[in-house]
Amino acid sequence: MSEERHEHLPEHSHQHILECSNQQPDPAIFSETHGLVFLEKVSSEKIQQALTQWVEEIREWAKSNAYLVGHIKLFVEGPENLWLSSTGRSINIKHSQGWSEWFTYRVNLNVTAIIFGTSKKALGEVAQVRLQACIKRIDSDE
Amino acid sequence: MNILLFGGFLGSGKTSIILQVARHLVGDIEEGFSTRQSDGGKTSLVIIENEVGETGIDDKILKAEGLSVRDLFAGCICCTLNAELTICLNEIQEELSPKWVIIETTGMAFPDRVAETITKYGKDIESLKTIVVADAERWDELSTVMPGLVEGQISKADVILLNKIDCLEPEQVSDVEERVRGINSSALFYAISAQHEVDSQIWREAVTGK
């Protein structure tokens, strides 16, 4: 696997500070969209495993630091779709009807993690590093 | 235009519930899951999505189901984007005049503030119902960490949906129900699990009021 074999271009990477006058602490937000292109077709199962692991890792990082998870959400957009979500407990997995049999060269990946108790910088670093590792796993031969 | 305003904390299950409600509403009109009516292709249901962060996810989930969705990102419609919400609603009315509009607020919003804006500035609103989703699984945690927000969301709801009851024992559900009803005793109350198909009778009562 090499860097050239896939593109994962963050189309958006923003921290939005909620300006509600609701006296609540502002959460840290990691929110990105990636267009992923693979050299070889990959199975939906491989994509799902890698992305589920990303959700697990963010959940465990929040748990080990006693942060409150707002939510962790992920949506794979294409002819078939995958939707993962967690509030720090179980991970809900939903997908379109043909997802399980699907192979693809490309997907659009949308991820959002909203965590209370940490900073935008800390969340961004952890989420980004682990997301890149997850994307590499999808494109690896393992 | 009949408006269903959905509120509730992050991760409470608003989007999952909206998917079911949308199916119910559209099916009610045309016995199929499409937001287009057969007479002239007029849109019967439009969803307004207000999300935290500038990359939307819920809007994509709803669009993937064939629903008509308008996005309002980069702010919260209960405060910073209330003018944008009014403009969006009035444009929908002028362009499409749908029977139903569902608004999904961010998990940090106070729905009663949004309702106030709609009541004051919305055009041709036939009805407005505030539906708040409470997370049964995380009730203890959230009501301890963020009591002001969680109770503020629930206190002025017309309908309360206590979601994720499948994650608790029946006695725990009863306990949470009692505490939720203690905050708002006048709202219609339903304990559900949106992981499964909710009884359509609940949607008839809670949403369309039949």
Domain that holds residue A10: 3-16+24-139
Strand-pair partners of B189: B160
**B-chain residues within 8 Å CB-CB of A75?**
57, 60-61
- Tell me the pLDDT tens digit for each residue of A49-106: 999 999 999 999 999 999 999 999 999 998 999 999 999 999 999 999 999 999 999 9
Contacts (Cβ under 8 Å, ≥6 apart) of B124: B1, B93, B97
Mean local confidence (pLDDT), B37-59: 79
Question: Which CATH number fits the domain that encloses residue B37?
Answer: 3.40.50.300
**Residues 139 through 178 of chain B touching chain A, CB cutoff 8 Å:** 141, 145-146, 148-149, 152, 167
Task: Find the CB nearest A19 among B64, B75, B110.
Answer: B75
Q: How many residues does chain B have?
A: 210
Tokens of B110: 């106070």
CA–CA distance, B78 with B111 (Å, rounded to integer): 7
What value does the mean pLDDT of chain B take? 90
Nearest to B52 among A29, A83, A90 (CB): A29
Which residues in A lie closer than 8 A to residue B75 (C-beta atoms)?
Answer: 16, 19
How many A-B residue pairs are in contact by the CB < 8 A criterion?
104
Q: How confident is the model at residue B80 (pLDDT cuts 50, 70, 90)?
A: confident
Given this model, what pLDDT does residue B36 score?
53
Q: Which two tokens stand for residue A110?
A: 């949308």
Q: Could you give the residue ranges of the DSSP H alpha helices within A65-116?
A: none
Q: Do A112 and B10 touch (CB under 8 A)?
A: no
Average pLDDT over residues B134-139: 98
Q: What is the pLDDT of residues B140-163, one digit of tens each?
A: 999 999 999 999 999 999 999 999
Given this model, what pLDDT does residue A15 score? 36
Name the residue range of residue B158's domain.
2-206
Beta bridge partner(s), residue B86: none
Place of tokens 């919003």: B109
- Describe the crossing of helices B111-121 and B82-95 by its angle, rounded to 10 degrees: 50
The neighbouring-strand residues paired with B104 are B6, B49
Q: Do B10 and A87 touch (CB under 8 A)?
A: yes
CA-based Rg of chain A, rounded to a whole angstrom? 15
> Which region among A35-44, B20-29, B101-110, B122-131 has the lowest average model confidence (pLDDT)?
B20-29
DSSP 8-state secondary structure symbol assigned to residue B95 = H
DSSP assigned state of B43: B
Count: domains in chain A: 1
User: In this predicted structure, what is the pLDDT of residue A142?
Assistant: 63
CATH code of the domain containing A124: 3.30.70
In total, how many domains does chain B have?
1
Interface with B, mutate which of A31, A34, A77, A131 (most B CBs under 10 A): A31
B147 Cβ contact partners less than 8 Å away, ≥ 6 residues apart: none
Say whether residue B106 is in contact with chain A using an 8 A CB cutoff: yes
Which residue's structure tokens are 């910073």?
B80
Strands (E) in chain A, as ranges, are 7-14, 28-43, 68-77, 82-86, 91-95, 103-116
Q: Looking at residues B42-59, what average pLDDT do you find? A: 86
d(Cα A75, Cα A33) in Å, to the nearest integer? Answer: 10
Would the CB atoms of B149 and A111 count as touching at under 8 Å?
no
For residue B40, the model assigns a pLDDT of: 54
Q: Which residues of B touch A90 (CB under 8 A)?
A: 167
Whole-number CA gyration radius for chain B? 16
pLDDT above 60 for A29: yes
What is the complex's ipTM, to 2 decimals? 0.89
Nearest Cα residue to A58 out of A138, A137, A112? A112
Contact A70 B80 (CB under 8 A): no
Residue B39 pLDDT greater than 70, yes or no: no
Contact between A68 and B141 using a beta-carbon 8 Å cutoff = yes
CB-based contact B137 A20, cutoff 8 Å = no
Q: Write out the two tokens for A106.
A: 């490309």
Determine the length of chain A.
142
